[in-house]
Amino acid sequence: MNDLTLIGNIGADAEIHKFDEGRFAIRFPLAITENWRDAQGQKQSKTEWFRCVRYTKSDAIANYIKKGMKLCVKGKASAEAYINKENQAVATAVCLVSEIHFIETIKPNNEG
């Protein structure tokens, strides 16, 4: 079974890619931060970044995916490969998003 559920903060506004056949890929980075106390009682944290992609017939939801928001995404784990600046092949983990749940939104600056 390949089910992935992530809760974290969006690292950048969603980017939209439109395919010729009218479908869209909505891409955004999601930061998942784990907090704990070490053996000495000191607070520690570690952040992992996930590339999220939602393939869809409408790009409307991308207007609501903004940097700093907290989201819960559900989907499948996958991988993408690309060639970096040093001309080396690089593979990265990706969440192929099937569901997006908004946990927290960002208030405009004038709403204190």
Mean pLDDT of 94-110: 81
Q: pTM (2 decimals)?
A: 0.81
Where in the chain are the domains?
4-111
pLDDT band at 95 (very low <50, low <70, confident <90, very high): very high
Question: For the structural domain made of 4-111, what CATH number should be given?
Answer: 2.40.50.140
The pLDDT score that the predictor gives to residue 28 is 97
Q: Using one digit for the tens of pLDDT, what is the confidence trace for 4-48? A: 999 999 999 999 999 998 899 999 999 999 999 999 999 999 999
Q: Using one digit for the tens of pLDDT, what is the confidence trace for 59-92? A: 999 999 999 999 999 999 998 888 889 999 988 8
Return the residue matching tokens 């909505």.
26
pLDDT band at 93 (very low <50, low <70, confident <90, very high): confident
Report the 3 state secondary structure along 42-103. Answer: CEEEEEEEEEEEEEECCCHHHHHCCCCCEEEEEEEEEEEEEECCCCCEEEEEEEEEEEEEEE
